[in-house]
Structure 1
Amino acid sequence: MTTSRRAARRRALTVAVASGLVVSGTAAPAALAAPSADAVIAEVYGGGGNSGATLTNDFVELANRGAAAVSLDGFSVQYAPASGNSWQVTPLTGSVAPGARYLIAQAKGAGGTVALPAPDATGSLALSATAGTIALVQGTTALNCKTAADCAADTRIKDLVGFGPAAVIREGSAAPAPSNTASVARGTALADTDDNAADFTSGAPTPTNGKGETPGETGPPAVNAKIHDIQGTTRISPFKDRKVAGVTGVVTAIRSFGSARGFWITDTAPDADPRTSEGLFVFTGSTTPAVAVGDAVTATGTVREFYPDAPATSPYQSLTELTSAQWTVDSSGNALPAATVVTPDSVPDTVAPAPGGSIEPLLLEPAKYSLDFWESHESELVSVSDARVVGPTSSFNELYVTTKPKQNPSVRGGAVYLDYDRLNTGVLKVASLIPFAEQPFPKVNTGDVLTGETSGPVEYSNFGGYTLFATKLGAAKDNGLQRESTRAQRSGELSVATYNVENLSALDSDEKFGELAKAIATNLAKPDILNLEEIQDNNGPTNDGTVAADQTLRKFTDAIVAAGGPRYEWRQIDPENGKDGGQPGGNIRVGFLFNPARVSFVDRKGGDAITPVDVVKERGKTHLTVSPGRVDPLNEAWEASRKPLVGEFVFQGRTVFVVANHFNSKGGDQPTHGRNQPPVRSSEVQRAKQATVLRGFIDKLLASDKNANIVVAGDLNDYPFSPAVKTLTAGDALKDLIASLPENERYSYVFEGQSQVLDHILASKAPRGVDYDVVHLNAEFAKQASDHDPQLLRFRPSAGNPVQDAFYDLADYLEKVLGPYLPKP
């Protein structure tokens, strides 16, 4: 039996997604009265030359489902925008043979790298990439129908497809929306039910002309090739964009969900080269392939290197695929090839060579580099046993394990990222190909174990690097990870905490507010001062100019009281609308909560979104010109980023300056698993500028009072070993307290299975009795109130007088020693 599927793809995530069609509550318009018996619209693509597109041109493709040739002389294809208010015309000539295609090239965009095969007709229509209508019309006079019903009554229209939910004119319900990287295409059988939603699917564009040529295939015939020939000894197939035939293998796994469907095959007669993978993914788009695991197939198709974005500029690696495939099932029920068993010694400790650019042209060295190891097994079956979880289950139903359990283990079971050249190469993402109704995806925390065998094909994903798609999933063993709590501060200790509350707005659920409040009242033991990051305005992502956050902060402080905490007061400054980055419309900012029963805030008027805070000394005492105040807010270093907020506090007669921070995000940095090595961390440039500006302000404070009690806290979005943090700590003006912990405790955030530091508390030399704690209660858990763990510093502020300091130190010591024996209040 010969089976073929038109390749169709529209993918952003290689995870299980539910496909669905949203239909309005109104009845669908009537379908055209007579489905075409021969010529039909087969495919429509409007993303040519757009951002992320591979093809340079838009196109419309016709097909003949009849038994005789169809003349197109005097016909046209016509295009209407989604509104249906006008039609544009491309005249046609010639004919389309039975079972053949007819390609009409349309407008060319500025981007793309691959030209269409030689078209059978050429127009200049600039089609929408997301919604519109194409009609095959007998005649070349522009249509004037503007509704589905009127067009259904126009006998000149031979076939019509409305694509995208916004399309007013369509047959039945609209076909799904295409995109810059996806077309809408009729199925292989070319069924015409006069319901566009039923007849068309969205996926990778596959323009084919009347000669059967596809992009890159004009002229040369298909070349017989084995899988290891296709995969080659580098990351890019030597058969890229060429048509191959005689590709043999046994089906090892099937992806039957989402818009990136297909199946994996492995050649059971491998070569002797460890660099060449014997596995290959056959991509079928949104169509479930008609194969079974164990089928031996012989396939023909075009070799593509799939990137999730524009191939010329993508920072990611590619996935070698066979597209536009046809195959024959030669036999069924065959034994599967043995999976490659990955042990702790299999994956090298070094990530990749570092040519200062793309590693794609380099010969693979799987015994030397971890990325090369996985690439040499791309699309093959791999197996891990009793794998420890180092990244908890996400909302996308994926998790991370380590194949190297002794590589930088954290004290709680994770894998700690300790320097740019100390990436944990044993980390591997795991997703599932098993239907969730059959085996629900495990909800696991860091330190849990997938017992027994977890196995399946491995492929590269831009979301997390190399991923094992499990056809066999180990059972989850709960390792009993508990959320941490810290001790309460003693009466002579000031406690300052920092917490990124992840886009908190008044619109968030009571559950989220309750969990965050419980953390403050219980896990953080009611800190005296709390730095908050990612507080949004009152209506969150609603982008209507609102910048006030009083409702958000009131709801939060009320929730803390309800959780058993104190009645905190707050101080913050509303940002200018849209000027501080973050979620559009959210206007995130940093702010302070403080317990007025323990600490007082020194309010100095004049602080606003654009007024810079400064340092003055009056009568021998250093203070701020405005409090709260922003650090140099108009400096270009803070463009589209949060501005530091400084507050002047008094605790038991001693002044403490606290600086709340949320530096520029790491968005735009190249991935550690990408094709460019070492990856370019472009976002570091702005954070380095921000650190320089902030350090200048800290130096002003210390120049005015060398014994100033200064706490710099917040989400610096960077590592302890980064240039930004090193700028802040240079010369020992500030100490980054995370460095005081053992290496296996240095983390507050987990990203792609790497336990790392983004949040910091830094302190000047003046504070005494420093006691610092990262309170792990979010980042390692599948259920999170935030994706960050809070941190807390307890200390005795200096009075700047040795005698007073000694007295306070003695009182604190006596409380520490005698406290357990004194009656509780």
Structure 2
Amino acid sequence: MPSRSSARLAALTVAAVCSAASAVVLTSPAHADSVRVHDIQGTTRISPFAGQKVTDVPGIVTATRTYGSSKGFWIQDPTPDDNPATSEGVFVFTSSAPKVAAGDSVTVTGTVSEFVPGGASSGNQSVTEITKPTVTTVSTGNAVPAPVVIDEDSVPDEYAPAGDTAANGSINGAALDPSAYALDYYESLEGMNVQVADTRVVTATDPYSELWVTVKPWEHRNRRGGTVYGSYDAQNTGRLQIQSLGATADFPKANVGDTLEGTTTGPLDFNQFGGYTLVASRLGTLQSGGLERETTRKQSRGELAVATYNVENLDPSDNTFDKHAAAIVNNLQSPDIVSLEEIQDDNGAKDDGTVDASETVNKLIDAIVAAGGPKYDWRSINPVNDQDGGEPGGNIRQVLLFNPERVSFVDRAGGDSTTAVGVTKVHGKAELTASPGRIDPTNAAWSNSRKPLAGEFVFRGKTVFVIANHLNSKGGDQGLTSQYQPPVRSSEIQRHAQATEVNAFVKSILDVQKNANVIALGDMNDFEFSETAKILEGDGELWSAIKSLPRSERYTYDYQGNQQVLDQILISPAIRRGCDFDYDSVHVNSEFNDQISDHDPQVLRFRP
């Protein structure tokens, strides 16, 4: 079977939606023991008929998908059984545009298949389908079975059952308990016509015409309308992805906190890019929540403002420089030091050996000046070509911007792409052996990943050490809707090794100078409650300043309806001890459909 691309496609056509008609017309199959949809779906995630041919399966067409590599239609049995664990709907994969319409009464003969979006290695659950079908239309114009209403009362608070240890943690063989677990509940509705009403948007519309809503209005809600992911046991069961069977041009451009008013109705699908998804034949009407981008306060004369900002694969060909500059100048109030992540080399993804990023950085600096900001200076170290991960050919790296009118950079020769920076003691104070310098860049922990960039600054006569980070991404981790519960987070192995190296380097500074001002910041690609964060913090060498915010305000990123922390600013005891610091996660990107980066920047203000 060809791979499926979900809604990540260009041309979509509207599926026919039937109006209510008279009684459903279903002919009796030729044999009395005919298999029905609920028999095919069964009471577990895997059909008891998987791999077998089924004959004359009756159903009403509820919707058709005429685009992409997963063309076909959904049927639903209008005569359900009395078992809530067995779905009455199933997708019929035709591979070409289906010749049926919503409201058709059909019988389907074909082979039952368990299709895994993204392939078996993804760990995703499978979709039960009928493939290689022969379809007979019995009648047309029938009423589509009434949608099942998904709401806060129907979705359980527990997310998933524990996986079977004898099956590597898989839940595929477990009997569904839709009254106990959200994933079981959604699975029991796979392929069925469902409906949500008056739902709040919790992830803005993405470039693929998808958004996320919640059917649980008060589930970990924050003041800006999102849903916060605060622990591995708080998966937020009310989240549901919404796509459309209609044209992408008509899909609403929603921000977090907006509402899809009225009803959104269609079959419940499962895809590689979000799991359970309502593929809407009818979309609710978008009502704006009026969300506005945040602006932090300006640092006082005696405060040093240090920020981190992932600018998402910025290269000279991008058209976002003016917008990034406006965010830095207006929303971040021109911090004294800015750690930039994902600065690409001067020709972006072109893989020709170019590693220098002077054009990229200077174009941003010029845009900042044009926006009314300071003339920043900058320091960085070019990576070895194609050795730091990220987009192939892009050679992403961290860059330290600084305002020379407010802070000075201590240049100390010796730092390059492969030489490790160290710490020495001079007149009783800690100094870097190279500034800028990279932390142990040849260590296996940094294989195919960004190496931390350390720099030494002086502000009002006080030394401040800044370590810019971009740790290993979460790519390869199993999703929350994985068939394996709990999901395997394989990317943590390397990230833990990296966090160990960063903590050890910070400790080497503090061993020399206990009261040193040290900041480790950047895209840590992990949560403030994660083991990665605990390793970074160590035995008190560092502390993640985002934990100074209320739990409902701890987020820098929005993924599949879960607002979460990926970017952090960690501070040494000398900064934390006096409690004379102020931390702000400035929400200018993650909640908006017109974001220029998928990350929100953060700012720390303190008096060294």
Q: Tell me the TM-score range normalised by the shorter chain.
A: over 0.9
Q: Distance in 2 between matches of 1:249 and 1:741?
A: 53
Question: Does residue 1:780 correspond to 2:598, yes or no?
Answer: no
Q: In the alignment, which residue of structure 1 is the partner of 2:214?
A: 402
TM-score normalised by the chain length of structure 1: 0.70
TM-score normalised by the chain length of structure 2: 0.94
Q: In the alignment, which residue of structure 1 is the partner of 2:26?
A: none
The partner residue of 1:263 within 73, 78, 81 is 73
Q: Distance in 1 between matches of 2:504 and 2:537?
A: 12
Q: Distance in 2 between matches of 1:270 and 1:15?
A: 33
Question: Does residue 1:708 correspond to 2:520, yes or no?
Answer: no
| Aligned positions of 1:126-525 closer than 5 A | 224-285=34-95, 287-311=96-120, 313-355=121-163, 356=165, 357-436=169-248, 440-509=250-319, 512-525=320-333
Alpha-carbon shift at residue 765 of structure 1 (Å): 1.8
Q: Distance in 1 between matches of 2:77 and 2:495?
A: 49
Structure with higher RCO (Cα < 8 A, 6+ apart): 2
Q: Distance in 1 between matches of 2:222 and 2:181?
A: 23
Alpha-carbon shift at residue 486 of structure 1 (Å): 0.5
The partner residue of 1:720 within 528, 538, 553 is 528
Q: How many matched pairs?
A: 584
Alpha-carbon shift at residue 732 of structure 1 (Å): 2.1
Distance 1:232 1:527, change over 3 A: same
Greater shift, 785-794 or 761-770, is seen at 761-770
Deviations 1:277-298 (A, max 9, x none): 000111111x211112111111
Q: In the alignment, which residue of structure 2 is the partner of 1:89?
A: none
Q: Distance in 1 between matches of 2:188 and 2:133?
A: 23
Alpha-carbon shift at residue 331 of structure 1 (Å): 1.2
Q: In the alignment, which residue of structure 2 is the partner of 1:682?
A: 490
Alignment RMSD: 1.5
Q: Distance in 2 between matches of 1:14 and 1:247?
A: 28
Contact persistence 1:16–1:397 (CA under 8 A)? no
Greater shift, 224-233 or 618-627, is seen at 618-627
Q: Distance in 1 between matches of 2:75 and 2:35?
A: 14
Alpha-carbon shift at residue 241 of structure 1 (Å): 1.1
SS in 1 for 2:594: coil
Q: Distance in 1 between matches of 2:204 and 2:182?
A: 22
Q: Distance in 1 between matches of 2:443 and 2:285?
A: 53
Contact persistence 1:14–1:461 (CA under 8 A)? no
Distance 1:795 1:703, change over 3 A: same
Q: In the alignment, which residue of structure 1 is the partner of 2:355?
A: 547
The partner residue of 2:437 within 600, 622, 629 is 629
Q: In the alignment, which residue of structure 1 is the partner of 2:10?
A: 17
Q: Distance in 2 between matches of 1:309 and 1:681?
A: 17
Off by >4 Å, runs of 4+ in structure 1: none
Q: In the alignment, which residue of structure 1 is the partner of 2:376?
A: 568
The partner residue of 2:335 within 527, 530, 545 is 527
Q: Distance in 1 between matches of 2:143 and 2:181?
A: 31
Contact persistence 1:629–1:647 (CA under 8 A)? yes
Contact persistence 2:419–2:441 (CA under 8 A)? yes
SS in 1 for 2:538: helix
Contact persistence 2:308–2:340 (CA under 8 A)? yes
SS in 2 for 1:481: coil
Q: Distance in 2 between matches of 1:288 and 1:587?
A: 42
Q: Distance in 2 between matches of 1:640 and 1:547?
A: 15
Contact persistence 1:222–1:245 (CA under 8 A)? no
Q: In the alignment, which residue of structure 2 is the partner of 1:613?
A: 421
Structure 2: any 5+ residue segments left out of the alignment? 13-30
Contact persistence 2:118–2:272 (CA under 8 A)? no
Deviations 1:26-50 (A, max 9, x none): xxxxxxxxxxxxxxxxxxxxxxxxx
Q: Distance in 2 between matches of 1:374 and 1:641?
A: 37
Q: Distance in 1 between matches of 2:125 and 2:40?
A: 17
Contact persistence 1:14–1:260 (CA under 8 A)? no
Q: In the alignment, which residue of structure 2 is the partner of 1:603?
A: 411
Distance 1:306 1:763, change over 3 A: same
Alpha-carbon shift at residue 789 of structure 1 (Å): 0.1
Identity, in percent, stands at 56
Alpha-carbon shift at residue 754 of structure 1 (Å): 0.7
Contact persistence 2:10–2:248 (CA under 8 A)? no
Alpha-carbon shift at residue 222 of structure 1 (Å): 13
Question: Does residue 1:697 correspond to 2:505, yes or no?
Answer: yes
Contact persistence 1:250–1:295 (CA under 8 A)? yes
Q: Distance in 1 between matches of 2:403 and 2:4?
A: 49
Q: Distance in 2 between matches of 1:239 and 1:618?
A: 74
Contact persistence 2:503–2:538 (CA under 8 A)? no
Q: Distance in 1 between matches of 2:590 and 2:567?
A: 12
Contact persistence 1:223–1:243 (CA under 8 A)? no
Contact persistence 2:11–2:248 (CA under 8 A)? no
SS in 2 for 1:281: strand
Highest CA radius of gyration, 1 or 2?
Answer: 1
Alpha-carbon shift at residue 256 of structure 1 (Å): 1.6
Alpha-carbon shift at residue 410 of structure 1 (Å): 2.0
Q: Distance in 1 between matches of 2:262 and 2:540?
A: 49
Contact persistence 2:5–2:68 (CA under 8 A)? no
Contact persistence 1:222–1:244 (CA under 8 A)? no
| Aligned positions of 1:781-800 closer than 5 A | 781-797=592-608
Alpha-carbon shift at residue 728 of structure 1 (Å): 1.5
Alpha-carbon shift at residue 411 of structure 1 (Å): 2.0
Q: Distance in 2 between matches of 1:688 and 1:776?
A: 27
Structure 1: any 5+ residue segments left out of the alignment? 1-7, 20-220, 798-825
Distance 1:345 1:728, change over 3 A: same
Q: Distance in 2 between matches of 1:490 and 1:350?
A: 47
Contact persistence 1:15–1:431 (CA under 8 A)? no
Greater shift, 721-730 or 588-597, is seen at 721-730
Write the letter of the residue equivalent to 1:288: A
Question: Does residue 1:664 correspond to 2:448, yes or no?
Answer: no
SS in 2 for 1:386: strand
Write the letter of the residue equivalent to 1:779: S
Alpha-carbon shift at residue 508 of structure 1 (Å): 1.5
| Aligned positions of 1:716-755 closer than 5 A | 716-755=524-563
Deviations 1:374-397 (A, max 9, x none): 000001011111000000000000
Q: Distance in 2 between matches of 1:486 and 1:314?
A: 40
Alpha-carbon shift at residue 314 of structure 1 (Å): 4.0
